[in-house]
Amino acid sequence: MGHGRQPRRHIGSRAIESRCLPPELLYVGFGRASASAVRAVVIVVGVLYVLMGLLAFADPTLFGLLPTGFTGFDIGFHLIVGLGALALALVPASRTTGTTAVGSDRR
C-alpha cells in the first residue's frame, strides 16, 4: 500500500512569479516607495519575464523547472510584458512645472 512514487514538486520560475514578485510590486505600487525603487522593481520584473520567455525557446520546461512546458502564448506573453516593463522603466519620467485645471484660462 502506498508504494507508488510521490509526484515531484517543482519550484521554479512560477514560484518566483507567484510568491516573490507580488510583495515587491504591491509595495512599490501602494506603499511609499521612491521613484528609483519603483524603477528598480519594474526592471527586475522585466528582465525576469524576458529571460523566461527567451529560455522557453530553448526548452519549454525551462530545463526542468516547470512540470508542464510554456506554450506559444506563454512565451509571447512573457516577452511582451517583459519588454513593456523594461520600456516603461527605462523611459525617463516627464517633468512638469505646473498643472492647470481642465478648462481653465491662462491669462
Instruction: Mark out the alpha helices in the chain (DSSP H runs).
Output: 13-15, 21-30, 35-58, 72-90
pLDDT tens for each residue of 40-54: 999 999 999 999 999
pLDDT of residue 76: 95
Taking the domains of the chain in order of start, what are their residue ranges?
Answer: 47-91
12-47 tens-digit pLDDT: 555 666 667 788 888 888 888 898 999 999 999 999
- CA distances to 11, 24, 54, 94, 101 from 58, rounded to whole Å, are 19, 29, 7, 39, 53
Amino acid occupying residue 52:
M
Euclidean distance between CA atoms 13 and 82, whole angstroms: 14
Please tell me which residue, 58 or 21, carries the higher pLDDT value.
Answer: 58
Q: Look up residue 76 and give its DSSP letter.
A: H
